[in-house]
Amino acid sequence: MDALQHINNTVYFRYFEDVRVVMLEALKVFDFVKSHNIGPVVASTRCDYRAPLVYPDTITTVSWVENIQEKRYTMKYEIHSHNQQRCVAEGEALIVYCDFNTGKSCPIPAETLEGLQAYVGGQ
């Protein structure tokens, strides 16, 4: 919590990261990064705060994928408060694939691209 007695705005981005990592682990992206030195980077991110989260609370964070292109896709997020019984934040991140050897964008690997389909619009 911050000085105003609610969850600090930066924490919401950690919640987004948590669900993003779960998806990347399910797609075995980290294994691919280790063997090919190609992987996702967050190019931009944002959050629209709908209501403050106050401790204690239980939350559910959901995510899905939209707008898959050759080298990038968008992840959408929602954070739901159980105490308030509503969505308290919505966000998104632009994920770009990068060849870490060159530092330049590159196509999303075929196996990752195929796996991403399971997350399209899947709230």
Please check whether residue 46 lies inside any domain of the structure.
yes
Report pLDDT for 97.
98
Report pLDDT for 3.
61
Residues facing residue 89 across a β-bridge: 49, 79
Contacts of 69 (CB under 8 A, 6+ apart): none
Distances (CA, A) of 28 to 21, 24, 33, 40, 73: 10, 6, 9, 12, 17
Please check whether residue 3 lies inside any domain of the structure.
no
Nearest 5°: phi and psi at 52?
Answer: -75, 145
Overall number of domains in the chain: 1
Q: Rg for the chain (alpha carbons), in Å?
A: 16
Please check whether residue 2 lies inside any domain of the structure.
no
Per-residue pLDDT tens for 65-98? 999 999 999 999 999 999 999 999 999 999 999 9
Report pLDDT for 56.
87
Please check whether residue 30 lies inside any domain of the structure.
yes
Sign of CA dihedral 104, 105, 107, 108: positive
**DSSP string for 12-37:** HHHHHHHHHHHHHHHTTHHHHHHHHS
State the CATH number of the domain containing residue 92: 3.10.129.10
Domain that holds residue 88: 9-118
Omega of the bond leading into 109 within 30 degrees of 0 (cis): no
Mean pLDDT split into 10-residue runs, the chain, 123 residues: 75 96 96 96 97 92 96 97 97 98 97 94 65
**DSSP string for 93-119:** EEEEEEETTTTEE-PPPHHHHHHHGGG
